[in-house]
Structure 1
C-alpha cells in the first residue's frame, strides 16, 4: 500500500468548487430541455423584460413553476435578472444560444442529446463489465431528436458556405448534375441542406437506422420535398450504386464498427475523380491536446454513445469521437485513398478531403 499523501486544503476547496459547479450544470440541463419544449426562452426573448407572472401569462403555463424556473435560469447565468424591478431578460447572446433555432450557435437541443446519456446509463454501465457494445438503435429516442437538432445549426452555418467550397472542384460539380451520397445521414439534416443548395444535383441519404430514415423523409417534406433528394435504409458497407461525384460522412465514421471497410466501400462508390468528404469531431492527435471543454464534451459523448456503438458492430474498431486527424488519415489510406488532407475546420469539426 502506497504512502498517504497529505491533503492540500486550498486545492480541495478549489476542486469541490468545480464539482459543485458541475453538479449545478448537470442538474440545470433538464431545465434547458423544459424551457425549449415549452417555448419559455422564445417567449422571454419576445416580451422581455418580464417577471414570472408576465411570462406565465404569455406562455399559458403555471406561474409558480415559471417563477422557480426563472430563478434557476438566472442562477445559471442563462438569463439576466434585475433585482430592482424583479424582471428577467434574455440578452441577444443568450437568445442566440437558447431561443433562436435558426442561429448558428443554438445549443438548447444539445441537452436533449445529453439526457439520453443519463437514461441509457444502466446499459453502458453493464457494457463496462462485459465489453459488449450498445448499438445506436438501442438508445433512448431523445438521442436521435437531440442529435438532429444539435448538429443542424452547425451544418447550416458551415456546410454550403465553407466546407464544400474547401474541397477541390466540388462546388462546380454540384452546380451541374452531380450525384451525391450522404452515408450515415441520420435524420437527414446535412442531406437536406445540400439538396436545397444545389437543386440540379441528386442526393441520396443512407442510414442503417430505419427510424432515422423515417425522420429524414419527414424532414425532407418539411423542407418542401425537394425532387432531387431521396433517403434509403442501408448500412455504410451496403450502400448501393456507384459513379458518385461526392460521398460524405458527417460525424459518423468513428461510430462505425469497421470504418476501414466502410471507407473502402465508399472509394468503390466514387467515380475515379470523385471526392470523399469526411466531417468528424474536432480533435488533436493526442489525449493531452484534447483536455479542454470541447474535448471533455466529445470524450464523454464517445464513452456513452460512440464507442459502445462501434463495439456493437462487426470488427468493433472503436475509433472514438476524438480519433484525431492522424488516426483518421490512417484509416482512409488503409481503405485505398492516396490523397488525404484537412480541408477546413471549426471549433467543433474538422473536414477531411480524400481522393483515390
Structure 2
C-alpha cells in the first residue's frame, strides 16, 4: 500500500505537470507573483484569459499546494516563496523551465517506443521545438547564479585570461545563454558559440544582439566534432557532452583547437553511475531524463558511445584521455552539476 500511494502520487504529479506548464506558458504565475490575494475574475483580467478556465486552473493549483486559497474571500495567492520557484526566471531557484519540456518528451513517446524495440535513436529535432526552448529555460537560472561567480574562478588561470582578453569556443551552446553571460562579464574576450541545431543558433544570435554583446560574440551552426577555429584559450561543453554519440571526437576536436595552455570546461550532471545512489529528487530527475532524452539522442548519432547522463567521472575521464586531454580535475561541485577542468 505504501508503494501504491507513491505511484498514485507520481501519476498525480504527471497530470499536474501539464497544468503547471500551462501556468508558465500563459503567464499565470507571473501575474500572481507579488500581487497578493486575487479572485479568479481578477486573475483572468490580468492575463486576458477566460475566467472559467482560470478558476479551474486555480483549483488544480490549490490541490497541488502551489497556490493557497482563502474560502472566506474566495481569493487565491501565490506565496513569494512559491513565486521564486515558478515565476521569477532571474532567480537560481526557478525550475519552471523543466515543465515546458513535457510536451516534447511526451510527444515523442511513440518514437521512443520504437527506438527501445529497434535499438535506434531519437534525435533532438524529432522532439519538437519545445525541447530546445525548455532546455534553455531550465539551465539558464543555474548558469546565471554560478557560472561567473563560482565555476570560472574555480578553473586554473581561466578567469585571469578572460579579463585580459581570451578566445572562447562554447560547444553545444543551444540558445546561447552561457555564451552571452560570459561575454557580458568579460568584454575584453571574444566568444564563439557552436551548435548543430539551426533554430537554437538563430535564437542565440538574437539573444546576443538584445544583450548588446554582438560585437564580441558569434554563433555558427557546427557539430561538436568539427567546429571551426583554433587557438582557443577555453573550450566549454555545458551539459551536452553526454548527449553526443561520439564524445571522444568532440574532445579530440577540442584538443586540436586549444591554445598551448588552453583549458576545457566540462559541465555534467551530478548523478552517480550506480543507480542505487540516485534515489533522491535530483538523481531521479536526471536519470528519468536520460532514459527518454539523453540516451536516445546519443543513440540516434550511431557513434561508439551512448553514455546517458550518468556515466560517472571515470568513463568521461577515460574518453578525455584517449582524446589527448590527460589532465582531469574536478573544479567545483554543486547539487546538480560537476564542473571539470581538463587540459592536455
Q: TM-score range by the shorter chain?
A: over 0.9
Aligned to 2:306: 318
The alpha carbon displacement at 1:235 in A equals 0.5
The answer to whether the aligner puts 1:307 opposite 2:298 as a matched pair is no
Q: CA RMSD in A?
A: 1.2
Deviations 1:263-317 (A, max 9, x none): 1110111112110000011112322222221121111111111111111114241
Separation in structure 2 between the aligned mates of residue 82 and residue 293 of structure 1, nearest angstrom: 30
- Aligned 8 A contact 1:123 1:134 in 2: yes
Separation in structure 1 between the aligned mates of residue 210 and residue 68 of structure 2, nearest angstrom: 35
The answer to whether the aligner puts 1:112 opposite 2:90 as a matched pair is no
Aligned to 1:49: 37
Deviations 1:124-165 (A, max 9, x none): 100011101111122111001101111110111110010000
Q: Pick from 232, 255, 264 the counterpart of residue 244 of structure 1.
A: 232
Aligned to 2:264: 276
SS at match of 2:34: helix
| Stretches of structure 2 lacking an aligned partner (at least 5 in a row) | none
- Aligned 8 A contact 2:183 2:213 in 1: no
Separation in structure 1 between the aligned mates of residue 275 and residue 21 of structure 2, nearest angstrom: 31
Output the TM-score relative to the length of structure 2.
0.97
Separation in structure 1 between the aligned mates of residue 127 and residue 236 of structure 2, nearest angstrom: 24
Separation in structure 2 between the aligned mates of residue 150 and residue 222 of structure 1, nearest angstrom: 20
Separation in structure 1 between the aligned mates of residue 128 and residue 238 of structure 2, nearest angstrom: 21
Aligned to 2:328: 340
Separation in structure 1 between the aligned mates of residue 53 and residue 271 of structure 2, nearest angstrom: 41
Please tell me whether Structure 1 or Structure 2 has the larger radius of gyration of its CA atoms.
1
Separation in structure 2 between the aligned mates of residue 82 and residue 20 of structure 1, nearest angstrom: 27
- Aligned 8 A contact 1:50 1:88 in 2: yes
The alpha carbon displacement at 1:333 in A equals 1.6
Aligned to 2:156: 168
The answer to whether the aligner puts 1:184 opposite 2:172 as a matched pair is yes
The alpha carbon displacement at 1:85 in A equals 2.7
- Aligned 8 A contact 1:256 1:316 in 2: no
Deviations 1:176-227 (A, max 9, x none): 1100000111111111111111111000001111121111112212222431
SS at match of 1:109: helix
Separation in structure 2 between the aligned mates of residue 311 and residue 121 of structure 1, nearest angstrom: 16
Separation in structure 2 between the aligned mates of residue 302 and residue 127 of structure 1, nearest angstrom: 14
Runs of 4+ in structure 1 off by over 3 angstroms are: none
Aligned to 1:82: 70
- Aligned 8 A contact 1:283 1:325 in 2: no
Q: Pick from 255, 258, 266 the counterpart of residue 243 of structure 2.
A: 255
The answer to whether the aligner puts 1:146 opposite 2:134 as a matched pair is yes
Q: Pick from 104, 107, 110 the counterpart of residue 122 of structure 1.
A: 110
| Stretches of structure 1 lacking an aligned partner (at least 5 in a row) | 1-12
- Aligned 8 A contact 1:110 1:147 in 2: yes
Q: Which moved more, 1:231-240 or 1:214-223?
A: 214-223
Aligned to 2:8: 20
Q: Pick from 266, 279, 285 the counterpart of residue 297 of structure 1.
A: 285
The alpha carbon displacement at 1:47 in A equals 2.0
Aligned to 1:267: 255
- Aligned 8 A contact 1:210 1:233 in 2: yes
Q: Pick from 288, 292, 317 the counterpart of residue 276 of structure 2.
A: 288
Aligned to 1:7: none
